[in-house]
Amino acid sequence: MKTNFFEQIAGLAVNGTLQITIQPQESGTLTVSVLLSNTNPKITTGKNIPPMLLKGLAQELDEAFFNQIGEPVKKTSKLFANAEAHQKELDKAGQAGKKDNSKDKTVKSVTNTNLFTQQPEEQPDDDDLDEVPEEQPDDSEILADKQRLYDEAMQRVNTLNGQMKYAEAIAQLPDPEEYPEKVEEIRKKGEALLKRQEMYASLQQDV
C-alpha cells in the first residue's frame, strides 16, 4: 500500500531531528509523541521544549496528524534556524576579538624587543624628542563591542516578547558561554519566555 507519509514529512522542512513515538492503548486508540530536537551541541535554545502528544483512533490521526503538528514543527525549526544564525554571529564576534588581541600582543612584543635592543649610549635625535608615544590598543574596545552586541540582542528579545513572538525571542537570547557574567540574567529571561510561550500555546489550543 502506497502512502505519502514521508512526502508530507519532507514538506515540513524540518531543521533538526524529528522523533515520532507511537504507543497503542488498550482502548484501541493511539498515543503519538512528536519531538523536534536540535543536534548542534552549541545550541541550547529549545532544549526544554516538551514533545507534542496526540491521542485518537488511527483514522482520526490519519486525518488530523499533519494539520496538528505542521505549524508547531515549522515554528520550532525556525527557532533552531534563528539560534544557529545567532550563534554564527557570536562566533564571528569572538574570532574578531581574538584577532584584535593577537594584534595587540604583537605590537607589545615588538615594542619590548626594541627596548631591549636599544643601545644605552646612543643619544636621541632632536626629532625623537618631538615624537609623541603611540597609544597602544587595549581590551576596553573589545569589551565595549561585546557589551553592545549583548544589549542589541536583549533589545531584540524584548521587542519580540512584546509582539508575542516567544520562539523567536528565545532564539535571539545571547549565548551564556559568551557572557559568563550574564548567565543568571539570560537563564531567567529564557525561563520567563518559555513559560509565556507555553501559556500562549495553551490559549491557542483552547480557542
pLDDT in tens, 139-163: 788 888 889 999 999 999 999 988 9
Q: Please, are residues 189 and 175 in contact by the beta-carbon 8 Å criterion?
A: no
Q: Please, are residues 35 and 51 in contact by the beta-carbon 8 Å criterion?
A: yes
87: pLDDT confidence band, cut at 50, 70 and 90? confident
Q: Strand, coil or helix: what is 26?
A: coil
Q: Identify the pLDDT of residue 100.
A: 66
Question: Considering only CA atoms, which of 98, 50, 42 is closest in space to residue 197?
Answer: 50
Sign for the CA dihedral angle at 182, 186, 188, 189 comes to positive
Angle subtended by helix axes 140-162 and 58-117, to nearest 10: 160
pTM metric for this prediction: 0.39
Question: CB within 8 A of 94, min separation 6: which ones?
Answer: 178
Say yes or no to pLDDT of 14 above 70. Answer: yes
Spatial separation of the C-alpha atoms in residues 156 and 4, rounded to whole Å:
40
Q: Identify the pLDDT of residue 113.
A: 55
Q: Identify the pLDDT of residue 74.
A: 81
Annotate 90-115 with b (16+ C-beta within 10 A) or e (fewer). Answer: beebeeebeebeeebeeeeeeeeeee
Q: Identify the pLDDT of residue 19.
A: 83
Say yes or no to pLDDT of 137 above 70. Answer: no
Say yes or no to pLDDT of 131 above 70. Answer: no
Q: Please, are residues 80 and 49 in contact by the beta-carbon 8 Å criterion?
A: no
Question: Considering only CA atoms, which of 19, 44, 43 is closest in space to residue 33?
Answer: 19
Spatial separation of the C-alpha atoms in residues 86 and 154, rounded to whole Å:
12
Question: CB within 8 A of 160, min separation 6: which ones?
Answer: 166, 168, 169, 172
Q: What residue type is 134 in one-letter code?
A: E
Q: Identify the pLDDT of residue 112.
A: 57
Mean pLDDT over each residue of the chain, to the nearest integer: 78
Query: How far are the Cα atoms of 18, 65, 110, 153, 201 from residue 14, in angstroms, in the given order?
Result: 7, 16, 52, 26, 20
The residue among 139 and 51 whose pLDDT is bigger is: 51
Proportion of the chain above pLDDT 70, given as a percent: 72
Spatial separation of the C-alpha atoms in residues 135 and 175, rounded to whole Å:
33
Residues 173-197 have pLDDT tens digits of 988 888 889 899 999 998 998 888 8
